[in-house]
Amino acid sequence: MSRPLSASRFLELKLNPSLPTLARTTRVALLAPLAAALLATGCASNHFVTPQPAAATHLPDAQADMHVAESALEAGDTQLAVSLFEKQLKTDPQSKAAQLGLGDAMYQTGDLARAGVLYARVAVVAPDDARAMLGLARVALRQRRLDEAEKRYRVLLAAHPEQAVAAEGLGSTLDLEGKHAQAQAVYRAALQQHPEVAGLKADLGLSLILAGDVRAGANVLLDVAGLPDAPPQARENLALAYGLLGNDQAAKRILVTDMPADSAEDNLRFYEQLRERLATATRDTGDARSAGGAQTQPVSAASVAPVGVLR
């Protein structure tokens, strides 16, 4: 999927309208993949709380509907999930499980306003409900209310430090705020507890790229992008790194595993635009490091490997 600069410029001005022109130019270019990867997909989109079954006093049919609804939600069948959760709410308007399930379904369909209302209703009666806390944080992030999202994710992570999804959400929020060093600290701390979570490594790699350390980001992504269960974002982020490093051949080989060749070519053209913008910023300042251009020397195709470190 191509990543137009106009959307990223809008996002950057929303986040840091007072940045110097040069810094804004560089950050706009680097924030474009982040906006596409995080906001379009909805970072930390999977709830980590075990779905709550209908109360024992409900009819067995209602319990069965709830289990089917949760299964449909997990499978991405939001239409079925919505119909069953709404059916349950007609029977029991106070059902937390149905409100949370419907909130998750609305979030998946992009109806953030209704999702927020449903999560908030549960939070009023159960302020410590982790699923409601996560839902409100996700909605705030998707709506670009970043201060609120950061606060909510910090509370959630403090209450559930064992949950990788809370760390992913906080780190993503910090990256969107431009606080890359803080985001990387969050990812690394979470990886100490969850070294098996590929999403954390993908996020860490992207954060390093956004901070201007493209080669270090590629090194992190190489360790995860070749895994059978690696998220597509890991490969997309690695392709971005190679694109910024000037290795279009390596970037294209990665991209075509997940998208048509035409879309891959669109991405390659976008990477070329980024390199040109970074090169211009470097010439204007004479400070390649501050412009994020210190790592833009071409990398040979021979250095591409499923895992390992760039040399």
Q: Is 73 left (phi over 0), alpha (psi -120 to 50) or beta?
A: alpha
**pLDDT tens for each residue of 97-134:** 999 999 999 999 999 999 999 999 999 999 999 999 99
- Indicate if 74 and 121 belong to the same structural domain: yes
Tell me the CA distances in angstroms from 117 to 37, 99, 102, 123, one per residue in order: 26, 9, 11, 10
Residues 155-174 have pLDDT tens digits of 999 999 999 999 999 999 99
Q: What is the mean pLDDT of residues 287-301?
A: 41
Residue 30 banded pLDDT, cuts 50, 70, 90? very low
CATH of the domain at 82: 1.25.40.10
**pLDDT (mean) for 208-227:** 93
Please state the pTM of the whole predicted model. 0.74
Among 128, 148, 181, the domain boundary falls at 128
Eight-state DSSP code of residue 302: G
Please tell me the predicted confidence (pLDDT) of residue 291: 43
Give the pLDDT of residue 286.
63
Structure confidence at residue 263 as a pLDDT band (50, 70, 90): very high
The answer to whether 254 and 235 have CB atoms below 8 angstroms apart is yes
Lowest mean pLDDT among 59-63, 180-184, 274-278: 59-63
Q: Residues 294, 288: contact at Cβ < 8 Å?
A: yes
Statement to judge: residues 214 and 292 lie in one domain:
yes
Domain count, the chain: 2
Domain carrying residue 292 = 1-42+204-298+304-308
Domain identity same for 88 and 37 = no
Question: Per-residue confidence at 288, pLDDT binned at 50, 70, 90?
Answer: very low
- 108 inside domain: yes
